[in-house]
Amino acid sequence: MISNPSPKSATNIKLPISFIVYALFAFSCSQIILFMNSSDMLIGQFRLPDIWMGAHFLLLGFAVMVAMGAMYQLVPVAFLTPIWNERFGFIQFGITALGVGFFSTLLSFKPSVAIYGGMLAVIGVVMFIIQMVITILSQQKKSLMTITVLVAIISLFLTIVAGLLLAWNIAYGGIINHTSILYSHIALGIAGWFTLLIFGFSYKLVPMFSLSHGFSMKWAKPMVITYITGLIMLLLSFWIQVTFLPTIGWFLLCLGFTFFVLDVKEIIKKRMKKKLDKPFIFSLFAIGNGLVIHFIALVGSLYHIKSSIFWGWLIFLYIFSWVIFSILGYLYKIVPFLWWTHKYADRIGKEKVPTLKEMIHEKASINILTLFIIGIVGLVLFVILQVGIGVFVFQGILAVASILYAISIIRVLFI
Amino acid sequence: MDLENEIQTALYDVIDPELGINIVDLGLVYGISLDEENNALIAMTLTTPGCPMHDSITKGVEHRLKSIEGLGVIKVNLVWEPAWTPENMSEKAMQILWGN
């Protein structure tokens, strides 16, 4: 038998929980802001100060903060490596939370000084990158997952560099490639950071939540190579005018995503747990959405569609139905685990303790997640039909769903 | 009941909180050994390396066994080889995972 020394796998719960609670608040804020500006969304106007505020509360305040919190919890257990410096992590949380809050708010109220909030957020994100790079590089046995997560972290760094350049240009001007930087900022953020991060952790989480064994992960290597190459091609296409470069980029991104789906499909096929938890099924549903959106982007690129409304809504769907939906599903697993470890880990074996499933109200979670699907489908439908009241109502449903979701997650912390 | 059987029975009380099944039926316990001074060594594994429940389950084993009278020092040795396979599970565990 080969024994393994027990690593210190649990991070101080206050660290990931701080990020997650902040993120849930930002999520509700973002949806309320977007609800209040639904008329601008109707005409496909995403590049307006109030929409910027909503979008950055959603992406930075919610998605990035959740990703950071989840990484503080998952990296030690998935990479069997303790977090480099927890105190540094708490300082990083404070700086990032302040920076993201100021930056997102100033984008609406005073865009010309948003750069100062942005700089604070950048310092926070750079601190996070330093923390994670040192932690991950100290992992004894590197895997493909290590590379995927490292590339995601590099993408995050480049995303904020591009974001800072954009904020600088808004404040002082002088940079002529504003549009190229903006497109790079978006692609690096959503495909480079979020997608690769979800890919990397899904290879650990999907088998764990489905109790799958004997799967091959044979597409993982082609996936990493293809997806990263596709991302580089797409980024190049924003800077060099070559006719088929965006199409090649989207083709490779689509292919890479397909490889990932093939692996997930095999993992699920070889699962031991027949009845999967509903929120986890929702995360799997998000993977399907991601594939469809990549395919639509490929078709859009193939037919040289230039409409900013088309790409604006496709990016919205990419973010919401793939990235955000994945996070929403996984959080229903991650938060109960965190709280369970904090509250019940020392009671196991001494008294009867609840299972993770018993810590969430599964029926309520199904209803809330269904509301998100209804909200997104209705929103897109009424934007296509250009019916203002419909957009207002369905963005309202999303705002209500986000508040209910935040309550349902926070509720776990009182069990 | 001898001490080894008592340990085996006690381990049925340690539940994997993710699956809701005890660690014996999951086939996570590889061996129980006792020395002359009744110090216990439990060799066990987890369903996957890097399982987030890592510390909780091993501590749970220690906590549960501490309540057995006459037992000396308890040591849990977490091993990764031989790796856990679904064949390690009991009929009952299989039934819970597939039957629900």
Would you state the CATH architecture of domain B3-99? Answer: 2-Layer Sandwich (3.30)
CB contact (8 A) between residue B52 and residue A77: yes
Please report residues of A whose CB lies closer than 8 A to that of B18. Answer: 208-209, 337, 355-356
The distance of A1 to chain B (nearest Cα, Å) reads 5
pLDDT confidence of A5, banded at 50, 70, 90? very low
% of chain A with per-residue pLDDT over 90: 68
The domains of chain A are located at 14-342+355-412
- Percentage of residues of chain A with pLDDT beyond 70: 96
Backbone angles phi, psi at A197, to 5 degrees: -65, -45
Interface touch A341/B56, C-beta < 8 Å: yes
Residue A78 with chain B: CB contacts under 8 Å: 50
Shortest alpha-carbon distance between residue B82 and chain A (Å): 6
Of A7-16, A32-41, A63-72, B79-88, which gets the smallest average pLDDT?
A7-16
Instruction: Report the alpha-carbon distance of residue B42 to residue B29 in Å, rounded.
Output: 7
What is this model's ipTM?
0.81
- Hey, are the CB atoms on A348 and B14 less than 8 Å from each other? yes
* Residue A4: per-residue pLDDT: 45
A43 has pLDDT over 50: yes
3-state SS, residue B44: strand
pLDDT at A10 > cutoff 80 = no
Q: Which pairs from A41-49 meet CB under 8 Å and 24+ separation?
A: A41/A379, A41/A383, A41/A391, A41/A395, A42/A382, A42/A383, A42/A386, A42/A388, A42/A391, A44/A308, A44/A309, A44/A312, A44/A313, A44/A383, A46/A312, A46/A315, A46/A316, A49/A107, A49/A108, A49/A109, A49/A111
For A289-334, write each residue's pLDDT tens digit: 999 999 999 999 999 998 988 998 899 999 999 999 999 999 999 8
Four-point Cα dihedral A136, A140, A145, A148, nearest 10: 50
SS3 content of chain B, % helix, strand, coil (to 5): 35, 25, 45
Chain B CB contacts of A349 under 8 Å are: 13-14, 59-65
> Chain A partners of B24 at a C-beta cutoff of 8 Å?
none
Q: Mutation test of the interface with chain B: which of A1, A2, A140, choosing the one with the most B Cβ atoms within 10 A?
A: A1
> What local confidence, expressed as pLDDT, does residue A172 receive?
84
Choose the closest CB to B59 out of A2, A214, A345.
A345
Give the domain A14-342+355-412 fold.
Cytochrome C Oxidase; Chain A (1.20.210)
**Which residues from B are below 8 Å from A73, CB to CB?**
52
How high is the pLDDT of residue A279?
95
Contact check, Cβ <8 Å, B50/A77: yes
Between B100 and A121, the higher pLDDT residue: A121
In chain A, residues with a C-beta closer than 8 Å to the C-beta of B43 are 1
Kindly list the residues from chain A whose CB atom is less than 8 angstroms away from the CB atom of residue B91: none
- Which residue ranges make up each domain of chain B? 3-99
From chain B, the residues in CB contact with A208 under 8 A are 18, 47-48, 51-52
**Cβ contact A4–B100 (<8 Å):** no
CB contact under 8 A, B15 and A353: yes
Residue of A nearest to B19 (CA): A355
Cβ of B100 and A274 within 8 Å?
yes
Query: Is the model's pLDDT at A228 over the cut of 90?
Result: yes
Q: Which residues of B touch A140 (CB under 8 A)?
A: none
Task: List residues of B whose CB lies inside 8 A of any A CB.
Answer: 13-15, 17-20, 30, 43, 47-65, 67, 77-82, 84-86, 89, 97-100
Are B50 and A341 an interchain contact pair (Cβ–Cβ within 8 Å)? no
Find the radius of gyration of the CA atoms of chain A. 21
Closest residue to A349, CB basis, from B19, B63, B77: B63
Choosing among B44, B56, B75, which should be mutated to test the A contact, i.e. which has the most A CBs within 10 A? B56
Q: What is chain A's mean pLDDT, rounded?
A: 91
Residues of A with CB under 8 A from a CB of B: 1-4, 6-10, 73-74, 77-80, 204, 207-209, 211, 213-214, 272-275, 337, 340-341, 344-350, 353-357
* Cβ within 8 Å, pair B19-A211: yes
Three-state DSSP class for residue B31:
strand
Cα(A48)–Cα(A266) distance, integer angstroms: 43
Average pLDDT over residues A359-371: 95
pLDDT at A200: 93
A158-189 confidence digits (pLDDT tens):
998 998 888 888 878 888 899 999 999 999 99
Query: How high is the pLDDT of residue A352?
Result: 81
